[in-house]
């Protein structure tokens, strides 16, 4: 209930109710949400009833599978998640002016980059930003974009074909794609044509796996070619295992495969015409970075620039200073 003597009482109550509502949607039931927020289920139900009365709409519907948001509830869930995420960051923003960056930062990196980058990033970040804790995950570009959009992570390092998602981004470098095979091609060429690639059994990421598949499909279509698809993989690891097993070749942004073991793959071969992805560092376009996340953002740009020049990554070109 609102406190008539406290003009902010209604706002405080509303933030609490929004948290309860978000937890119920995420848990899929009142009982599971009650155990998460440590509130008795009847009291939780009463809070949601008051929120619905305040807003004048029904937010939740009970089904045989649990509780689901209505159309209005789905809109409120998305907006409330953003608001609460901003609210949770306010203390850190307020303390950040004169203090060293401090706090947890969620960082996600493309699976094809992670083996080369993660260990060094963690080690150097601990030295450079000792009060910052990194939570690191990897995945494909589409999954990482979703993690940023849902505020599951603060920063991501991803490959992109086109800059279409509503994220704040800084392109870092471009990376050509290579044909990766278990055995060398006949004649051990340094470059292979797209026409030649089309005749080989090819392992591709699934059609919903993001920008690399989109780029490959577009390049074949523009050349009026149809690839010989031997397998569509649901992850980079399964894609590489299929190549190692001799199912076919793959098309990857990788100029050096030594991290997978000596002699596991043949030397990657450049493809002509060039298939090029951009590597960008991205974060939410609607939420400001905390001081800790902003410090990690700047650290990553400097670190990746140095590593790109140090590592054996043929086909890369740094563009981050543009």
HEC assignment per residue over 11-43 = HHHHHHHHHHHHHHHHHCCHHHHHHHHCCCHHH
Per the DSSP assignment, residues forming a β-bridge with 231 are 203
Look at residue 312 and tell me whether its pLDDT is greater than 70. Answer: no
Residue 272 has pLDDT above 90, yes or no: yes
C-alpha to C-alpha distance for 136 and 262, rounded to whole angstroms: 27
Q: What percent of the chain has pLDDT over 90?
A: 39
- DSSP state, residue 200: S
- Given a cut of 80, whether residue 8 has pLDDT beyond it is no
In angstroms, the CA 117 to CA 138 distance is: 11
Out of 123-127, 149-153, 195-199, 229-233, pick the least confident: 149-153
Domains of the chain: 9-94 (1.10.10.10), 96-175+278-318 (3.40.190.10), 178-274 (3.40.190.290)
Q: What is the dihedral of CA 281, 283, 288, 294, to 10 degrees?
A: -30
- Tell me the residue length of the chain: 322
pLDDT tens digits for 122-145? 999 999 999 999 999 988 888 888
More confident residue, 73 or 210: 73
- Is the pLDDT confidence value at 62 over 70? yes
pLDDT given at position 260: 63
Burial of 85 (C-beta count, 10 Å sphere; 0-12/13-18/19+): middle
User: Cα(28)–Cα(22) distance, rounded to whole angstroms?
Assistant: 10
Alpha-helical segments (H) within 199-235: 211-222
Verify cis geometry, omega within 30 degrees of 0, for the bond prior to 281: no
Neighbours of 207 (CB within 10 A): 10
Mean pLDDT of the chain: 84
Dist. CA 173–CA 176, nearest whole Å: 10
Question: Mean pLDDT across the stretch 255-266?
Answer: 68
CB 256 within 8 Å of CB 314: yes
Whether 64 has a pLDDT exceeding 80, the answer reads no
pLDDT of residue 4: 41
The pLDDT tens digits for 15-40 are 888 888 988 988 888 888 888 777 88
In the prediction, which pLDDT does 90 show?
67
pLDDT classification of 217: cutoffs 50, 70, 90: very high
pLDDT band at 201 (very low <50, low <70, confident <90, very high): very high
Mean pLDDT of the 157-177 span: 84
Name the band, by pLDDT with cuts 50, 70 and 90, for residue 209. low
Q: Which of 110-114, 157-161, 175-179, 269-273 is least confident?
A: 110-114
- Residue of higher predicted confidence among 109 and 39: 109
């Amino acid at each position: 209930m609102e406190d008539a003597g406290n003009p902010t009482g209604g706002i405080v109550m509303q933030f609490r109710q929004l948290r309860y509502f978000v937890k119920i949607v995420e848990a899929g039931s009142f009982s599971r949400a009650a155990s998460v927020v440590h509130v008795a289920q009847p009291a939780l139900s009463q809070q949601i009833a008051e929120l619905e009365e305040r807003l004048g709409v029904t937010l939740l519907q009970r089904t045989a599978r649990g509780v689901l948001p209505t159309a209005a509830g789905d809109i409120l869930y998305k907006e409330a998640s953003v608001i609460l995420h901003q609210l949770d960051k306010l203390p850190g923003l307020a303390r950040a002016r004169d203090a060293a960056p401090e706090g947890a930062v969620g960082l996600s990196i493309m699976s094809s980059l992670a083996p080369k980058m993660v260990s060094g990033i963690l080690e150097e970040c601990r030295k450079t930003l000792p009060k910052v804790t990194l939570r690191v995950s990897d995945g494909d570009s589409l999954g990482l974009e979703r993690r940023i959009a849902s505020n599951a992570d603060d920063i991501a390092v991803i490959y992109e074909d086109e800059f279409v998602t509503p994220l704040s981004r800084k392109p870092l470098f471009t990376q050509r794609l290579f044909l990766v095979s278990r055995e060398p091609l006949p004649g051990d060429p340094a470059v292979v044509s797209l026409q030649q690639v089309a005749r080989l059994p090819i392992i591709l990421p699934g059609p919903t796996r993001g920008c690399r598949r989109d780029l490959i499909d577009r390049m074949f279509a523009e050349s009026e070619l149809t690839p010989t698809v031997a397998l569509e993989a649901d992850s980079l690891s399964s894609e590489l295992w299929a190549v190692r097993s001799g199912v076919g070749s793959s098309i990857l942004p990788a100029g050096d495969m030594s991290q997978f073991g000596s002699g596991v793959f043949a030397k990657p071969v450049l493809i002509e015409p060039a298939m090029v992805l951009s590597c960008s560092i991205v974060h939410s376009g609607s939420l400001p970075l905390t001081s800790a996340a902003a410090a990690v953002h700047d650290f990553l740009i400097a670190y990746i620039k140095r590593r790109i020049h140090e590592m054996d990554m043929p086909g890369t070109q740094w563009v981050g200073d543009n």
